[in-house]
Amino acid sequence: MPVAPRTPRARLLDMLEAVEGIRSALAGLDYEAYERGWVVRRAVERGLEIISEANRHMPDHVKAEHPNVPWRQIAGIGNVLRHEYQRVEDRLVWNVVHGHLDTLEKAVLSALSALHGTG
Protein backbone atom coordinates (compact mmCIF):
# COMPACT_ATOMS: atom_id res chain seq x y z
CA MET A 1 0.00 0.00 0.00
CA PRO A 2 1.53 3.36 -1.00
CA VAL A 3 2.20 5.87 1.74
CA ALA A 4 0.64 9.30 1.29
CA PRO A 5 3.15 12.13 1.06
CA ARG A 6 3.64 14.11 4.25
CA THR A 7 2.06 17.53 4.27
CA PRO A 8 4.01 20.72 4.99
CA ARG A 9 2.20 20.88 8.34
CA ALA A 10 3.36 17.35 9.22
CA ARG A 11 6.93 18.22 8.24
CA LEU A 12 6.83 21.35 10.39
CA LEU A 13 5.52 19.28 13.30
CA ASP A 14 8.40 16.81 12.76
CA MET A 15 10.83 19.73 12.97
CA LEU A 16 9.19 21.09 16.10
CA GLU A 17 9.28 17.67 17.78
CA ALA A 18 12.99 17.35 16.92
CA VAL A 19 13.73 20.81 18.35
CA GLU A 20 11.94 19.85 21.57
CA GLY A 21 13.78 16.52 21.69
CA ILE A 22 17.15 18.20 21.25
CA ARG A 23 16.35 20.64 24.04
CA SER A 24 15.28 17.78 26.29
CA ALA A 25 18.45 15.80 25.55
CA LEU A 26 20.62 18.81 26.38
CA ALA A 27 18.74 19.98 29.46
CA GLY A 28 21.18 20.77 32.25
CA LEU A 29 24.28 19.81 30.24
CA ASP A 30 27.31 21.98 29.57
CA TYR A 31 29.57 21.40 26.57
CA GLU A 32 31.92 19.05 28.43
CA ALA A 33 29.05 16.80 29.54
CA TYR A 34 27.65 16.84 26.00
CA GLU A 35 31.05 15.93 24.57
CA ARG A 36 31.42 12.97 26.95
CA GLY A 37 27.91 11.63 26.31
CA TRP A 38 27.85 9.38 23.26
CA VAL A 39 24.10 8.74 23.53
CA VAL A 40 23.30 12.43 23.95
CA ARG A 41 25.51 13.43 20.99
CA ARG A 42 23.87 10.83 18.76
CA ALA A 43 20.38 11.88 19.88
CA VAL A 44 21.14 15.53 19.05
CA GLU A 45 22.65 14.56 15.71
CA ARG A 46 19.58 12.45 14.89
CA GLY A 47 17.34 15.38 15.80
CA LEU A 48 19.31 17.58 13.40
CA GLU A 49 19.02 14.92 10.69
CA ILE A 50 15.23 14.88 11.11
CA ILE A 51 15.10 18.67 10.93
CA SER A 52 17.29 18.61 7.85
CA GLU A 53 15.21 15.97 6.07
CA ALA A 54 11.90 17.67 6.88
CA ASN A 55 13.43 20.92 5.63
CA ARG A 56 14.46 19.34 2.34
CA HIS A 57 10.81 18.51 1.64
CA MET A 58 9.40 21.86 2.74
CA PRO A 59 7.81 23.88 -0.09
CA ASP A 60 9.85 26.87 -1.24
CA HIS A 61 7.02 29.29 -0.49
CA VAL A 62 7.11 28.31 3.19
CA LYS A 63 10.88 28.85 3.33
CA ALA A 64 10.58 32.17 1.49
CA GLU A 65 8.34 33.52 4.25
CA HIS A 66 11.21 33.02 6.74
CA PRO A 67 14.39 34.33 5.08
CA ASN A 68 16.14 34.66 8.46
CA VAL A 69 16.34 30.86 8.76
CA PRO A 70 19.43 29.33 7.08
CA TRP A 71 17.43 26.70 5.18
CA ARG A 72 20.32 25.77 2.88
CA GLN A 73 22.68 25.22 5.79
CA ILE A 74 20.04 23.12 7.57
CA ALA A 75 19.92 20.82 4.55
CA GLY A 76 23.71 20.80 4.43
CA ILE A 77 24.28 19.75 8.04
CA GLY A 78 22.02 16.76 7.47
CA ASN A 79 24.17 15.67 4.55
CA VAL A 80 27.31 15.92 6.66
CA LEU A 81 25.73 14.00 9.55
CA ARG A 82 24.52 11.23 7.24
CA HIS A 83 27.44 10.89 4.84
CA GLU A 84 30.50 12.35 6.51
CA TYR A 85 29.82 11.48 10.14
CA GLN A 86 33.53 10.96 10.81
CA ARG A 87 34.09 14.69 10.14
CA VAL A 88 31.43 15.92 12.54
CA GLU A 89 32.93 18.04 15.28
CA ASP A 90 31.09 18.09 18.58
CA ARG A 91 31.75 21.82 19.02
CA LEU A 92 30.16 22.59 15.63
CA VAL A 93 27.00 20.66 16.50
CA TRP A 94 26.87 22.34 19.93
CA ASN A 95 27.26 25.78 18.34
CA VAL A 96 24.61 25.09 15.71
CA VAL A 97 22.13 23.96 18.34
CA HIS A 98 22.84 26.85 20.69
CA GLY A 99 23.08 29.46 17.94
CA HIS A 100 20.19 28.55 15.65
CA LEU A 101 17.59 26.37 17.35
CA ASP A 102 15.60 29.31 18.74
CA THR A 103 15.40 31.02 15.33
CA LEU A 104 14.33 27.77 13.70
CA GLU A 105 11.70 27.11 16.33
CA LYS A 106 10.21 30.60 15.90
CA ALA A 107 10.08 30.14 12.12
CA VAL A 108 8.44 26.72 12.45
CA LEU A 109 5.83 28.05 14.88
CA SER A 110 5.16 31.02 12.60
CA ALA A 111 4.82 28.77 9.56
CA LEU A 112 2.46 26.46 11.44
CA SER A 113 0.36 29.43 12.47
CA ALA A 114 0.28 30.69 8.87
CA LEU A 115 -0.95 27.31 7.66
CA HIS A 116 -3.93 27.54 10.06
CA GLY A 117 -3.95 23.78 10.43
CA THR A 118 -4.25 23.06 6.72
CA GLY A 119 -2.18 20.76 4.54
pLDDT tens, residue by residue, 31-79: 999 999 999 999 999 999 999 999 999 999 888 988 888 888 888 888 8
Please give the single-letter amino acid code of residue 51.
I
Cα 32 to Cα 37, 38, 76, 77: the distances in Å are 9, 12, 25, 22
pLDDT of residue 119: 47
Predicted structure pTM score: 0.88
Banded model confidence at residue 114, pLDDT cuts 50, 70, 90: confident
Select from 61, 79, 82, 73 the least CA-distant residue to 104.
73
pLDDT of residue 117: 52
Q: Contact, 16 vs 105, CB < 8 A?
A: yes
